[in-house]
Each structure stands twice: as structure tokens, then as C-alpha cells.
Structure 1
């Protein structure tokens, strides 16, 4: 990967991340409140739907930029971006690239998510107040509460979304005899995102509850949280927020991956 491609991935990823996070923020707020221990209406209902948006505005560009730079560099390193890559090898490379990209991006994403979700479920506080309160009560570790649960949610998500996205693009390219257009890549991204979103909703529920929990809470591991949700709310609880999550990520996949391809191709 040369410098020109690196810069293109950096800028395209950052722009795509900003677009999708800010446009779909209200849906994310609804999903977070549906998944919270307090319940939807006690967590804020439909009030202050943009609570927590400053943390997203600050974190979305570097988060998405870090993801796509890592993803494209890994693909380039292992040859997954070449048309000549063996059909059975390419999905493995895409899975590896997506997994590494998530680990790196979560270093930026998790503090943003912690502040955002705590503000979403306590709309009377600003993002800055939540940040200060978290640092005062829990220190830097508080901002990384739920890091492993986020990684364990994002990696399975990416293991489904990105190989499926790349496969659908390849299939469409072969059928029409040339590389897919940006809007076609966006359609593939929407379908891949919706599929991955539904399958990983239980992990998202666990991640949300861990992030919203206060310091000293005993239930902080994914299996324990999932067991607790299953006992208290059953299958409905495990898939709480699945509809806004699928809707948001499907539309988000369309905007995110479509915008990424469009900006990257324009820059190159």
C-alpha cells in the first residue's frame, strides 16, 4: 500500500464514519435506551434524542479512519485486494483484516461509546459532564469499560459483514463485467450490515449493559450478562433493540461503505 492509497483510506474512512454516525444518531439513542437496565422510558424514551452527540462528532472520524487504514493495509499485505486472489483465500484475508481493524478502531471507539451511551440514558447531563464524572469516579479505566465486550461484539460482526460485502461486490462485478459502482457497493453494504446486525444483537445487548454499569458492579462479563438477560427477559431481551439496530446498520452500511468507496475512488 503506497502513501496515496494510505491517505485515500484515511480520509475516505473518516468522512464515511462522520456521515453515518451523525445521520443515524437518533436511531442509536433509541436502541441504547431499549437495551438499558432501566427500560426505554426511564432511560429517556424519545426525549433529548441527540444527547451524547458531541462525543460521536469528535470520535467518529479518527475511529473510522483507523479502521479502514488497518483494513486496507492488511488486505494489501496479504493480497486480499487483488482480483487474482484465490476465491477460498480471499474471505479469510477479509476476516483477518476486519478483525485487526476492529481491535485498533476500538481503542478510539470505546471511550466515545462509553460517554455517548451514558449521556443517552441520562439526558440531563452533557457529554462533558459525563466525561468528567467518569474520570473522577473510575479514572481512565472507566472510559475503557466494556472494551473487551465491544471487541468481542465487533469482531463477529465484521467476520460476517466484510467478507459478505466483498463477496457480493465480486459477484455483482462478475455479472456485469466491470467493477461495481459506488451505489452498488452501498447496496451490498446495506444487505451485509443488516445480516451481521441481527446475528450479533445479543452481544450488543451485553456490551451496552456493561458500559452502562457503574464501577463495582459484579456482572461485567459477557456470559454472565447474557445469562442474566436470558433469565429476566428471555429471547426478547437478548434481541432487544434488534429492529432499530438492523435498520440503523443497514442504512448505515449503505451510507458508510458507499461513501467510503465514492470518496476513495475520487481521491485515487
Structure 2
């Protein structure tokens, strides 16, 4: 066990700062892979939706939401996890059972993701529309950030900007429920292996990076169908054809493309989230370790 782990979870303020840094790092650094994934999932197809052109289209709304979104997520996550772990250990002492490490992480991840989505959802919708309007510079200018905010606001106020909240929660909650408990477990496992091998201080960073990559890739692969549903739902809602339900969008994909349609973009999404896990969770753990 390293010094950071022996001291317990990072203080709330440190978790907020480290979470913001980690989120900004990953969202901007590997943004082109997210653009490719979104275009692969688009109903119009990859080439029509922009292909390999303008892969940083929509990076501004992502950058604007990444710092507060990451700060909120990790602030809520660490605070909730610490409280729940305290309850679990007190309960274990009373019952004589082993305390659960997975349940506090899972509950904390779900609560943190819910709060984070409130910050990120309006920007996620804008980002996807800008990614798919990047066929030409002229089209990109018509889908600028101020224009989209005006269109969504005039079409129904803030409720329009949060139209994608339900499908985003339907995707991000299962993702967080897989990623964070897996990361915490693998971090301890890889860290123990490094300690047993007599690893140096850099072993902790290596354990965090490996755990982040494995947890991110696993969560991404398992939740790809939900990601396809979320992308199609938001794009159909924005296309002027009414506001279809989540289930209606799923039925439409299955009729038109079969199960294969729900797995569109699984490879770039898994690669993206594996790299993201290294940067996101690795950066977060490293910042906490350095400054604690």
C-alpha cells in the first residue's frame, strides 16, 4: 500500500482539482477518436457525416464542459465513496463479515455520474451535431456553438438543451457502474503485484495506467449498444422529426440494421475509452498522489 492509499481518499478540494485536470486532458487529447466514433454511428453513414475531415469539430463545447464535469464527478465520487466505505466498515465490525469494496464504489460512481451529466448533457448534444456537420467549412459555420444555443433555447428553453439527459444517463450510469469498481479493484490488484515484485515508486503510476486502460476498455465494449442508441436518439430528436422515445429509436435501428447496427463504432469506442482510461484515471490518481 502506498502513502496516498494509506492516508485514505483525497480531500474534496483535491479531488475536484484533479478531476477537472483529468477530464480536460483526456477529452481534448483524444477528441478525434470520439469524432470518428460518432460519425461511424450516424444513420447517414461515415463518409456523408464528415469522414476523416475536421476531426476537431465540436471540441469547444467539449472543452467548456470537461473541467466542471470532471470536477463535479470526482468531487461527488470521492466524498460519497468515503462515507459509504465508513458505513461498510462499521457494519462489518458489527456483523463480522468482510466489508465490500465494490458496492461503495458502484453507488458513488452512479451518484457522481448523475450530477456530472447535468453539467455535460447540453454540451454533448451540441458537440455531436457539430461533429456531423463538419463536411465543409460552410456547414460547420452554420452549426456554430452560439447558433446552436440560440436554436435550442428558442425552440423550448432549457428543456430543449436537456432533451438528451435520459439517454445519456441510460448510457453513462452503466458505464460508470462498470468502470469505477473495475478500476478500484484492478488498481489494488496491479499495485499488489508491483509491491510483490519489489517495484519502485513508478509502479503505482503504472498500476493506475494499466487499471485505467482495462477498466475503460471493458466498460466501453459492454456499453457500445447504449452509446449507439444515445447518439441516434439525440440526432433523430434534433432532425425535426419529433421526439422519438428511447425504445422507438432502438426498434428503428434493429429493423433497419439488425444487431450489427447496435455495435457500430465498437472498435474506435473501445480504443478511445482504453486510452481515455489511461489519461483520465491515470492523470487523476497521479495528481492526487503528487499533491496529497
- Normalised to the residue count of structure 2, the TM-score between the two structures is 0.85
Q: Is 1:168 paired with 2:186? A: yes
Q: Distance in 2 between matches of 1:223 and 1:133?
A: 26
Q: 1:93 aligns with which of 98, 104, 110?
A: 104
Q: Is 1:229 paired with 2:235? A: no
Q: Distance in 2 between matches of 1:83 and 1:261?
A: 23
Q: Distance in 2 between matches of 1:77 and 1:147?
A: 27
Superposed structure 1 runs of 4+ greater than 6 Å apart: 80-86
Alignment of 1:104-123 (within 5 A): 104-123=115-134
Cα 1:54/1:145, change in 2 over 3 Å: same
Deviation of residue 216 (structure 1)?
5.9
The more displaced of 128-137 and 149-158 is 128-137
Q: Distance in 2 between matches of 1:35 and 1:87?
A: 44
Conserved? CA contact 1:202–1:226, under 8 Å: no
Over the aligned positions, Cα root-mean-square deviation in angstroms equals 2.5
Q: 1:23 aligns with which of 29, 32, 49?
A: 29
1:156 counterpart residue number:
174
Q: Is 1:141 paired with 2:159? A: yes
Larger Rg: 2
Q: 1:38 aligns with which of 10, 33, 44?
A: 44
Conserved? CA contact 2:73–2:113, under 8 Å: yes
1:240 counterpart residue number:
264
Alignment of 1:168-247 (within 5 A): 168-177=186-195, 181-212=204-235, 213-214=237-238, 217-218=241-242, 220-247=244-271
Cα 1:155/1:229, change in 2 over 3 Å: same
Question: Unpaired segments of 5 or more residues in structure 2?
Answer: 1-6, 135-139
Q: Distance in 1 between matches of 2:228 and 2:262?
A: 7
Conserved? CA contact 2:191–2:207, under 8 Å: no
Q: Distance in 1 between matches of 2:213 and 2:193?
A: 19
**Aligned residue pairs, count:** 268
Deviation of residue 222 (structure 1)?
2.4
Cα 1:231/1:253, change in 2 over 3 Å: same
Conserved? CA contact 2:88–2:100, under 8 Å: no
Conserved? CA contact 1:187–1:254, under 8 Å: yes
SS of the residue corresponding to residue 40 of structure 1 reads coil
Question: Unpaired segments of 5 or more residues in structure 1?
Answer: none
Cα 1:83/1:8, change in 2 over 3 Å: farther
Q: Is 1:103 paired with 2:114? A: yes
The more displaced of 216-225 and 252-261 is 216-225
Q: Distance in 2 between matches of 1:164 and 1:10?
A: 21
Cα 1:170/1:87, change in 2 over 3 Å: farther
Q: 2:13 aligns with which of 7, 11, 22?
A: 7
Deviation of residue 145 (structure 1)?
1.5
